[in-house]
Amino acid sequence: MGRGAFRSRRGRGKLRRSPGRSPPSRLRALPALGALLATACFVPEYQAAQGAGAGGSPSASSSESASQSTGAAGGTGGAVSPFGQALLFSGASARIEAGQAPTLDLSRSSFTVELWFRPNSLPVYQALVVHGAGNPTQPGWAIFTTDDGITFHTADGSVGEHAGAASVLEVGHNHHIVVTRSGSDARILILDATAGQTKHVAAGRSALLPTWASPLDQPFELGGTYGGGNTIDFPVDGVVDDVRIWNVVLTNEEIDQKAGAPVSCREAGLIAYWSMDQTGGNAVPHCDTRDNLDLVIAGEGYEWVPSPF
């Protein structure tokens, strides 16, 4: 099977789609976001909550000054403090890729994926995190930006399904993006720290996502997907930091508490954590040495920068 993301193959597989703007030919497995706005996937109270500053958990932004100087404790299994450095993608040809890793097979498990993202622009599609899901015949999952929205897509080998949230991203804003899956239920939660939010808001939900076969013959990618040759599809233009994957569904309270707080590499349920605290080079080490989860940046157009989060 090809390695590019969201390539369609006519006559292969079946994709549930709704009317709306048609995605580009390379993204036929990702239904048009416009169709999501009329469904229960979109939670309109997101906009009402922006800037509300609901209180309770400390905001991610307020923790920045306390954590900037602590750095990461990679390889120790001890506490890892976020927001030392971050990785800036310029929307060119850079992407991050990992080889096959059994730890990242989430095909049958509940999970939570979280990351910080500050977009410098909002093109139609940006591939934040992708594992398989290259088209309806490639099992796996992916988190994409779609204009100013977020889409969480899965494919089980014959059918593709998605949860989506529209109008949740702003250029230059610090967003904490969280996707959870439990059985067939998936949620998207967003926190806009720049707007003063201190609690995540449910922005999208779907009860249609299938389980899928293992995508371990496909790469795990961040910041874009391999397009063949020297090309990168759906490159990210913005800053990415603190990517964490859990094999449990975090509660809303846990998500609020952990977003801007240090966590241990060996915390229960945390199966992958890249703190993005490098100062140079193309290596993106995992927070410890288990399961060979170190990542490598391929291509051009990236820079290690002080984290804005």
* 105-137 pLDDT per residue, tens: 888 889 999 999 999 999 999 999 998 876 666
Q: What is the CATH number of domain 22-306?
A: 2.60.120.200
Q: Domain locations in the chain?
A: 22-306
Instruction: Round to whole Å and give the CA distance between 297 and 90.
Output: 13
Q: Tell me the CA distances in angstroms from 236 to 56, 68, 83, 113, 129, one per residue in order.
A: 32, 24, 19, 17, 10
Instruction: Round to whole Å and give the CA distance between 66 and 198.
Output: 17
Give the N- to C-terminal CA distance of the chain in Å, as an integer: 38
Average pLDDT, the chain: 76
Tokens 């995190």 belong to residue: 129
CB neighbour list of residue 298: distance below 8 Å, 6 or more residues apart: 94, 95, 96, 97, 226, 282
Q: Which residue has the higher pLDDT, 290 or 225?
A: 225
Per residue in 172-187, pLDDT tens? Answer: 999 999 999 998 899 9
pLDDT band at 235 (very low <50, low <70, confident <90, very high): very high
If we measure between CA atoms, which residue out of 213, 209, 248, 245 comes closest to residue 109?
248
Q: Tell me the CA distances in angstroms from 215 to 56, 134, 137, one per residue in order.
A: 39, 10, 11
The pTM of the full predicted model, rounded to 2 decimals, is: 0.77
Q: Tell me the CA distances in angstroms from 171 to 102, 122, 147, 188, one per residue in order.
A: 35, 7, 11, 19
Which amino acid is residue 112, in one-letter code? T
Which amino acid is residue 174, in one-letter code? N
Q: Are strands 14-15 and 159-165 parallel, antiparallel or unpaired?
A: parallel
Q: Tell me the CA distances in angstroms from 285 to 41, 89, 293, one per residue in order.
A: 35, 17, 7
257 has pLDDT over 90: yes
Instruction: Round to whole Å and give the CA distance between 44 and 204.
Output: 9
